[in-house]
Amino acid sequence: MEHKIIFATGNEGKMKEIREILGDLKVPVESMKEANIDIDIEENGTTFEENSLIKATEVAKHTEAIVLADDSGLEIDALDKEPGVHSARYLGEDTPYDIKNKEILIRMDDVSWTKRTARFVCAITAVFPDGLHKTVRATMEGLIGYEAAGENGFGYDPIFYVPEFDCTSAQLTMEQKNKISHRGKALEMIKEEIKKHL
Ligand code: IMP
């Protein structure tokens, strides 16, 4: 049987990264739009794993292809793991990230360096045509800086300090970030699971 992978996202940036990492599987990878699947999915799970499973399962109802879906976000220990699964919706979906980031820095004002630990989390679920599914989770560990820095990346990258590189994740190149990122690592893990089903 000819295989195909559909990734449940409308985000072109994610599709580029996904195609790069899954490229050596030699299986076509399509976005939902490319696969003509137009459905709205409510992400009402309480964990990243749950949300990725909800998305992948819903999309799999519309296709015979292998379906992948991810859910990601930032967990800040001093803020009780906020914004967590609400990362995209934190302070409102349409609020610019410089405002979200400023607010986090203000809330963290009196938190000492060693207590500023945080992580980006990414869960990815694969649903296979036989109905079996597998969910993986990976993280990128770091600290919330005292000020925003860097122009690369997106979202919370400017306030996320990466000890390994002594800079924020918005100061990493895309290649550097993909190697160590939560999404990069989760994609490598799910790739191994897909290989078992080809
Ligand atoms: P989703 O997985 O597309 O729902 O995105 C979740 C949200 O988490 C994004 O909108 C960002 O706010 C945040 N996020 C996830 N990954 C990253 C990252 O690599 N850098 C910065 N923010 C991220």
Over residues 90-144, the pLDDT tens digits come to 999 999 999 999 999 999 999 999 999 999 999 999 999 999 999 999 999 999 9
Instruction: Band the pLDDT of 33: cuts 50, 70, 90.
Output: very high
Strand partners, 124: 70, 136
Strand partners, 134: 126
Instruction: Band the pLDDT of 9: cuts 50, 70, 90.
Output: confident
- Alpha-carbon distance of 130 to 152, in angstroms, equals 40
Q: Is 71 a catalytic residue?
A: yes
Q: Where are the beta strands (DSSP E) in 106-158?
A: 117-127, 133-144
Instruction: Band the pLDDT of 174: cuts 50, 70, 90.
Output: confident
- Alpha-carbon distance of 11 to 31, in angstroms, equals 8
Strand partners, 9: none
Q: Do the beta carbons of residue 147 and residue 108 sit within 8 Å? A: no
Q: Do the beta carbons of residue 29 and residue 19 sit within 8 Å? A: yes
Choose which residue among 50, 87, 168 to substitute to test ligand 1 binding: the one with the highest number of ligand atoms within 8 A of its C-beta: 87
Instruction: Band the pLDDT of 173: cuts 50, 70, 90.
Output: very high
Write down the pTM of the prediction. Answer: 0.95
- Give the distance (Å) from ligand 1 centre to CA of residue 72: 5
Average confidence (pLDDT) over 11-15 = 83
